[in-house]
Amino acid sequence: MKIAITGASGFIGEALVRRLQATGHTVLRIGRAQNGARRPDIAWDAVTTLDAASLEGVDAVVHLAGESIAQRWSGAAKRAIRDSRVQGTTLLARTLAGLARTPSVLVSMSAIGIYGDRGDEVIDESSALGKGFLADIGRAWESSCDPARAAGIRVVHPRVGIVLSPVGGALAKMLPIFSLGAGGKIGRGRQWMSWISLTDTLRALEFVLSTPSLVGAVNLTAPNPVTNAEFTEVLGRALHRPTFAPVPEFAIELLYGEMGRATVIEGQRVVPKKLLDAGFRFDHDDLAAALRAEGIA
Ligand SMILES: NC(=O)c1ccc[n+]([C@@H]2O[C@H](COP(=O)([O-])OP(=O)(O)OC[C@H]3O[C@@H](n4cnc5c(N)ncnc54)[C@H](OP(=O)(O)O)[C@@H]3O)[C@@H](O)[C@H]2O)c1
């Protein structure tokens, strides 16, 4: 397939481009022109400018772009997180809808934050959506794809969990602390962490691209989410480091503010029902094995 990818320069995007190219696909990177190091194949500003002609003939689009969630949520940061997703997705969806030959599928990233803070409830794609900033962003992000849906394009929203890799995302931020033996559960450690290995994230994205029956929300999380206490213990064991000292919630809030509360203190126990029903098999459904496979041991 000829696949266009926004956010191709990011943590997931770079790995996805490599994987898709290795499996014989042609990849077109859509990126912001000011992104110096590597010029994108198609430049956009993620707000108003995207050259439709450059997308003619594309079979599929994967939309990953968005301002990073992992920063203190000042007013300006919240606006950038929201606007980059709503404006960028709307621009992309409208542009695709107007093509002479529309692509067969738009895979537009979403996240499990859309379910909000849910205690021990087991959540699949039919569960109600949640409350809070991340849930509101998720709703707006997903519905920004409406123009593509209306044009008959199959739209998939991978609601992605905590992607585990030592090279990026949440785990890369935790590793230095845990490697020093300073890692510990957060608060009482009862909040759920719905994780997925980077390898399975890429495999699942390829799977949704090539599985026409998958439409709408699809949870991309391993089948066995764990509590924060269990995650802490398994990561400590993998690194052969102690994890005795719990981190008080107030310390997280002091350091990271509202973002820390929403991403680390709160959680959700998500299961990948639609992927499993569609026949997807995870390479890593056990956390310890996933960490080993990502080179953490
Ligand atoms: N990592 C995770 O665990 C995880 C979990 C759930 C959901 N997600 C979502 O999946 C997507 C990809 O995640 P990632 O970890 O690969 O993110 P990332 O490393 O932060 O990369 C995101 C990419 O989006 C583009 N971008 C950044 N700020 C932007 C802005 N203000 N406006 C427009 N484009 C902007 C950049 O590409 P250019 O500079 O090339 O334009 C960047 O490389 C994100 O939307 C993220 O929220 C990630």
67 lines ligand 1 (CB under 6 A): yes
Q: Residue whose CA is closest, atom 31 of ligand 1?
A: 67
User: What is the residue range of 42's domain?
Assistant: 2-163+196-221+270-283
CB 140 within 8 A of CB 94: no
Q: Residue whose CA is closest, atom 24 of ligand 1?
A: 65
pLDDT surpasses 70 at 36: no
Note whether residue 7 is domain-resident. Answer: yes
Confidence of residue 297 (pLDDT cuts 50, 70, 90): confident
- Count structural domains, the chain: 1
250: exposed, middle or buried (Cβ count in 10 Å: 0-12, 13-18, 19+): exposed
**Mean of the per-residue pLDDT values for the chain?**
96
Note whether residue 60 is domain-resident. Answer: yes
> What CATH code is carried by the domain that includes residue 27?
3.40.50.720
Which atom number of ligand 1 is nearest to the Cα of residue 68? 20
pLDDT tens, residue by residue, 83-95: 999 999 999 999 9
pTM assigned to the model = 0.97
Rounded mean pLDDT, 251-266: 94
b/e sequence 222-245, b meaning 16+ C-beta within 10 Å: bbebbbbbbbbbbbbebbeeebee
List C-alpha distances in Å: 190 to 40, 180, 225, 226, 264.
Answer: 43, 23, 12, 9, 11
Note whether residue 230 is domain-resident. Answer: no
pLDDT surpasses 80 at 14: yes
Tell me how far apart the 2 most distant CA atoms of the chain are, in Å. 60
pLDDT surpasses 70 at 24: yes
pLDDT surpasses 70 at 13: yes
CB 89 within 8 A of CB 149: no
116 lines ligand 1 (CB under 6 A): no
Note whether residue 291 is domain-resident. Answer: no
Note whether residue 38 is domain-resident. Answer: yes
Rounded mean pLDDT, 237-248: 94
pLDDT value of residue 32: 93
Note whether residue 97 is domain-resident. Answer: yes
